[in-house]
Structures are given as structure tokens and as C-alpha cells.
Structure 1
Amino acid sequence: MKNLILTTAALALTAGMAMADTVRMGTEGAYPPYNFINDAGEVDGFERELGDELCKRAGLECEWVKNDWDSIIPNLVSGNYDTIIAGMSITDERDEVIDFTQNYVPPAASAFAAASDGADLSGGVVAAQTATIQAGYVAESGATLVEFATPEETIAAVRSGEADAVFADKDYLVPIVEESGGELVFVGDDVPLGGGVGMGVRESDGELRGKFDEAITSMKADGTLNEMLKKWFGEGTATYGTDGSVVTN
């Protein structure tokens, strides 16, 4: 799941607001199958379906707001929307600035994809989306990191030869690799990062977080969340038991 590294500017933002009549759901709209913009110009994907159901169960009126990934936390904190529901992994670093609901996607792996299985992951050039802990992981690995604003650009860098490999959420990479006709392959070992994907809210919005936590718990308990996970990520994806524990399929 996508992992934002917080900037100093984000840490400085401290605005908050009471829970509004209409809850604005902030997402990137560029990270399928989590979220994307469909042909009608609307937010679509797993998180759109999930978010609409959570709002229904919580008794909330919700609307969707698109925001670029690299400013998604600062714009939550400054009040441009009320939640982040954008494939965001729960991390201690983020939790210093915002609060999270419980996860609605279990912890999963990040992976490397390359044009050949001989790609040099330790000393070569590896692409990652800017402001992610995938990027941070690469920077500390000894490889040369090249960062891009969007996930699509990281894939393009491998295809053009600008990068030897891309490092990203495996859930994001799987359909791209499968549809590449052999142009891209997975290389190296999967790398577990993050604590699962959750909704981000301002630290002052504990009531709102509580409403969404209750809704997520109910979806885990009745199996609805598992149905959505399998629909968007495949039958082999990790799911939840009725008690919220993670089930590896």
C-alpha cells in the first residue's frame, strides 16, 4: 500500500474542524485498483465502493475530492477535506501528524518489477513514486533512486530504460505486469512495508474516526469487506476473519 513520507511543511500544519454535515473524502484518483478516475470523470475503484458503503453505515453524507498524492496529508490537515482514503499505509511517522482508523486492507508486500530478471536492485537505478516509503526504502538500499510524481511515470521510466526497476505496492504492480505481455517481470523478493491501509483523519476529529471505525468493524464482521477485497484484488488476497484477524488465503 502506498506510503507517504511526511515533509517538514506537513508537520507544521495543525488546522482542524468539527465534523461537518457533508464529509469530504480525499483521494488521489490515480492508483488503481484502489482509486482511479473512470471514463465518466468520476472517482472509482475499491476505495470508492468501500467509502460509499462506510458512509452509508455511518449515517454520513459524503462527497469525493481528488488531490495529488504529494500534498494529500497537508491538505487534510489544513481542512480541504475531512478524510484520506487513498491506499495510504498506516505508519508511525504519519500517526504523529494525523490519526488513522483501523486498517481496511491487511498489511501487504511491496515488490520490484523490471524489464528483465537480471535487473540490479542493489546497485542499479530504481524508480519509485515521490514521497513514499518505497522511495525511502530504495534510498537506503544502496541503489540509485529516481522519484516521479505519479505511479504511471515510474512504470514509464522502466519501459524507457531510464530506470532498471520500479518499486511499488505489489497490488498495484500485479495487473500491470500481467498485462505487459512479458515486457515487465517481477524480480527479487517481496518486501513487507507498513501496517495495512486505513483512513486518515485529523487528530481533532475523533468522533468521525470512531464512526468509520465502527463501520469498518461491521464490514469485517459480516464479510462484506472480504467480498470487496476479493472483487478488486483477486481471490487469493488476504482477508479478515469475523473477529478482524487477518486470514491469508
Structure 2
Amino acid sequence: MSETQSAADLSDRIAAELPYLRRYARALTGSQKSGDQYALATLESILQDRSVFQADLSAKVGLFKCFHAIWASSGAPAPEEDSSTLARAQAHLARLEPNTREALLLSTIEDFSIADIATIMDISRDEVRYLINTARTDMQDSISGQILIIEDEPIIASDLSSIVTELGHSVTGIGRTRDSAVALGKSHRPDLILADIQLADNSSGIDAVNDLLKDIGNVPVIFITAFPERLLTGERPEPAFLISKPYREDQVKSAVSQAMFFASTETLKV
């Protein structure tokens, strides 16, 4: 294979993994803008130096490893201008042990193995395990709030309700359709919305969320979808938090805990 063909193949493999890097970066920073800035910086770095991909690493591990080199050197996510939400989140994040959120997200949301996380973060496997366990404890104990669930399947809605309640949050209601979800959100403003994409009457969970946010203002949203890459193109305003279907309990817990750090609400426990 020629050098040109090899470079093209690498570009294709990186492009296939880029939506998941965007998802991860947005979850770390709490916003599309900041997360995508980090993703772009990662791609620019790879254009300058592709040596990390010469090792025996998958394209996804290599991509995330490049990202982490940049993330670690920056020291903290870049807050957006005039963002009291992110400023407040930074105060909470500063109390957490370094690298704990990163390890937890890589494990639960991105589904990397302990060995892969160790490679990405350039630490030992034992340290990865320690960071994940510490993150679970720190994040679950630091924040509580009120959550609106938008889900048309009763069993899944009940499961999600149980998961977030176990974390110490309360459920303000469960909307099965676009109209019912909007009505619930307007009657009792949530601190976070957990929404499926396809609802009972063939309406869209995305439309329900957009309608609701126009009325109640900015609230963190976690979408649940079988096709997360379709919402991570970078071509329009997109969610910072996504869970892939079928989800696992630890994925929901991790995403909810991460998202609540970026919730501007009086129910946050300092």
C-alpha cells in the first residue's frame, strides 16, 4: 500500500470515529462549542504528527489518545463567554480529583476497556480502576436535582426513573408524546431532561425538547438514541450528552451525573 493510500485509509478510519470523540468532548466541557473546539484541535494535531497511529492501536484509541494529550495540556475545559452555568460547573469540577470524570466517561459512555483507557490517558490500569471508582462516589454525592423523562415505552421509562432516583434525583414527570412532555416541563421546570428520540405518537423527542427549551430556557438535555452519530455531525446545534441504545445502567448514571454538573439550579448541593 502506498503512503498516499495509507494516509487516505487512516483518514477514513478517523472520520468514522470522530462523532464519538465529539460526544466525549462535549460531555467533558458541557457544551457543543467547547467540545467541538477540542475535537478540531485534535484533528489539527494529527495533521501535524500521525506518529501515534504507527503504534499497534485502533483508530479510535489513537484518536482519543491524541485528544487527551491536548486536553491534559490545557488543564481545564474552555468556558463559553458569559456562561454562568459553566462557571458554576467549574467550581464543582475543581473539587473533584483530576482525571476521574475522564476515566468514568471513557469507560461508561465510550465503552473503552480498562487497558484502552490506560493507553489513552497514559496511566496504569490500577490507576484507571481507582479513578473510575472515585468518580462514581464523588459525582453521585455532589449534586441532586429534578429530572423530566421523555419516553414512550413504560418499561424503559420506569427503569430510567429508578436509575435517576437511586442517584438521589427526583422525577418531575414522564412524557410519552411531544405535547405531554411540553406540558409537564412547563408545569414543573426540570433541572435536566432525559429524552428518547422517537415517541409514542410518532412525534419527535428532539422537537419536544426544542419546544420546551424555548419556554423554560436553557436546561441540560440527555438524548437516548440508537444512532448517536446522526446527531453528532457538527452541522447544526446538537446535544452535548448522548446515550446509545441499548443503554446500560452505568451509562445513564454517568451521563446524568456529568450533565448535572452543568445545570444552573438552586437545587445543586455545594
Give your verdict on TM over 0.5.
no
Structure exhibiting the larger radius of gyration computed from Cα positions = 2
RCO comparison, higher one (Cα < 8 Å, 6+)? 1
Tell me which protein shows more helix as a share of its residues.
Answer: 2
Higher fraction of strand: 1
TM-score of the superposed pair, with normalisation by structure 2: 0.27
